Structure 1
């Protein structure tokens, strides 16, 4: 069951209005300033999250290279959605930054992200959750199509 007020995580259809705005997202992820790429959480439950981002259109996006934002940068958007999901599952407490240990089955269907109108829809689904890490399936959509998808394993730092 999705959180109260969410209209679901249907592919390509972001629920409105967002459940959490950019200020709330910034409290959930370990990223600061321009590196906080997500603008809203549209929906979430114990397994999935859907986030919205507009930062792909910002010329000051710190991931841009030679004036463009390569589609592979969508992985960072997905990782931030995963971090927000972890914090939401921990009652809204930001968690320590994790480390990307592997990417699998990554499919890229676009060259770049910055030329897409409208928001990016970033979804992630927890496939496995352990005390020391997670495995998520993720997707980034925009302009009515899937741009990037794959699976990521995250290792959490020891105490």
Structure 2
């Protein structure tokens, strides 16, 4: 299990923008994270005093970033990734900030190579599905590549 400081050490998101509290489990194909920042009044994604459900995509993107960092070779410099597209996203709720319990964030790597990765993701609250979809991640080129 990783706590927030260990997550922040592996992704570019720092301070309040590091939305995940912990990594509960992970393996070569998937990751399961938990977050409570959706309830914070100072969540940087809030607009008009609310956190819309589509912001859950950023939670999933951070889980994907942590997953990629955990899969990287030891002592390798992290490769920045960019969310190239999201597809088949379905929102089951309108907002996230009114949910009392922690969010469970899941990402599963469906395919990929050295430069592109396709993930399926979902967010749940108390076992209820909040949103799901797929995301394509484009990894930044490494020097000499």
CA RMSD in angstroms comes to 1.3
Q: Is this contact kept in 2: 1:29–1:87, CA < 8 A?
A: yes
Instruction: Choose which of 103, 110, 117 in structure 2 pairs with 1:134.
Output: 117
1:19-34 alignment, distance < 5 Å: 19-34=1-16
Deviations 1:103-122 (A, max 9, x none): 11101000000000111000
Gaps of at least 5 residues in structure 1 are 1-18
Q: Is this contact kept in 2: 1:35–1:62, CA < 8 A?
A: yes
Give 3-state SS (helix, strand or coil) of 2:2's partner.
coil
Q: Could you tell me the TM-score, scaled by structure 2's length?
A: 0.93
Q: Could you tell me the TM-score, scaled by structure 1's length?
A: 0.85
Stretches of 4+ moved more than 4 A in 1?
Answer: 91-94
- Counting matched residue pairs gives 141
Deviations 1:20-57 (A, max 9, x none): 11111111111111110000000000000000001000
2:43 alignment counterpart: 61
1:113 alignment counterpart: 96
Gaps of at least 5 residues in structure 2 are none
